[in-house]
Amino acid sequence: MKLNSRWYKVAGIFLLLIFSLLTTNATNEAVEKPEKFEAGKVILEHIMDSHDWHLFSFKGHDVSIPLPIILFDRGKPVCFSSSNFHHGQQSYKGYALGFTKESKNKVIKLSGEYAGYTGEITEEMASAIDLNDIPWDISITKNVCALFFSLILIVVLFLYIAKQYKKQPLSAPHGVQSLFEVLIVYVRDEMVRPSLGDKSDKYLPYLLTLFFFIFLNNLLGLIPIFPAGANITGNIAVTAILALITFFITQFSSNKTYWKHIVNTQGAPWWLKLPIPIMPIVELVGVITKPVVLMIRLFANMTGGHIVMLGFVCLIFIFGGIHPAIGYGVSLVSIFFYLFIALLELIVSFIQAFVFTLLTSLYIGMALEEGH
């Protein structure tokens, strides 16, 4: 179906607005603070977790949504808003966001003469930080907040799809239902059933959840507008938990043949088993490295994509610091490559979800394989 020409005009106007906003910000930043722009710092702030949700900057002022700080300091619960930190510039009742290399982005506790201090942070306070007395931080950070949003989105989408199937079980799917049916059938028939066979139905709910969780969070991470934009699948803690869940399901689902193959590898010569059990050691290392590879692959690919996209945007500010006209010229090239990488990341978002789910189903299938 052909799109109406009006939509092309709207899309063109939208892109022009993006160009003008980015180039204006770039040149303004370059003219006012040319020496203070640090591309590495800007990129890290966007891909790392934080205690507030930064929306935009206006005339040198950061506009963000404060999130709750929840601490356990020696067993005592402490709760307050992250707005009390004033974007990390001030401390609050002896607590502050880390401003040294060792405590960066952590909620640290000031000691000595600064205990209970509320005010502007200075470099002299670094000596008043007791790194052995950092409170237990279970705050709702940007990534946690985005995680809640993505989970709610997944639940709402699939409850709606399930309701449509119950309402009209014999009719053809339509709308969102038709889109997700293609993906669900693809995961079931191309990933799960070839690996698990007649045991597919038992593990299909987990594998479908895994696929759509990774896929939707990959897509949300590419949208730079609240409530999207958080780098959830580029967070090593999130990918580590997903890999650990896969690891435990694989091990608890394993049978005797799986462990027999690890201890006494079939087809390997005896001198690789005795007197030094080289093959069992290699197989046990493989059991551990499989989830580690899952964890690192997803983390590295998503983080790398975000860094490359942000790098092209930062080029506008860097060249704008030389001269505003150069900033305007480079912005056109930077935005073109930014959009190209963003489209590439759409494909990578699906591929990473596909690879993680496929390898998970393969690992579980290997653990369930019966002896010949």
Question: What digits encode the pLDDT tens for the residues 72-126?
Answer: 888 888 888 888 887 777 778 778 877 655 556 678 777 766 666 676 666 666 6
Report the C-alpha gap between 335 and 340 in whole angstroms.
8
Residues in the chain: 372
Query: What pLDDT score was predicted for residue 188?
Result: 92
pLDDT confidence tier of residue 245, bands split at 50, 70 and 90: very high
| Residue 223 exposure: Cα atoms within 13 Å on the Cβ side | 11
Which amino acid is residue 326, in one-letter code?
A: I
Partners of residue 77 on adjacent β-strands? 72
Q: How far is CA 286 from CA 83, 266, 281, in A?
A: 46, 16, 9
Report the C-alpha gap between 91 and 77 in whole angstroms.
18
Q: Which two tokens stand for residue 282?
A: 């290699």
Report the C-alpha gap between 47 and 139 in whole angstroms.
18
First to last CA, the chain: 53
Peptide bond just before 34 cis, omega within 30 deg = no
Q: Is 192 exposed, middle or buried (0-12, 13-18, 19+ CB in 10 A)?
A: buried
The DSSP 8-state label assigned to residue 122 in this structure reads: -
Report the C-alpha gap between 168 and 18 in whole angstroms.
43
- In b/e form, how buried is each residue of 299-320, taking b as 16+ CB within 10 angstroms? bebbbebbbbbbbbbbbbbbbb
pLDDT in tens, 19-28: 444 444 444 4
| 50 vs 112, more confident | 50
Q: Which two tokens stand for residue 180?
A: 């997700």
Instruction: Of 288, 281, 289, 290, give the one whose Cα is nearest residue 262.
Output: 281
pLDDT confidence tier of residue 1, bands split at 50, 70 and 90: very low
- Average pLDDT score, the chain: 80
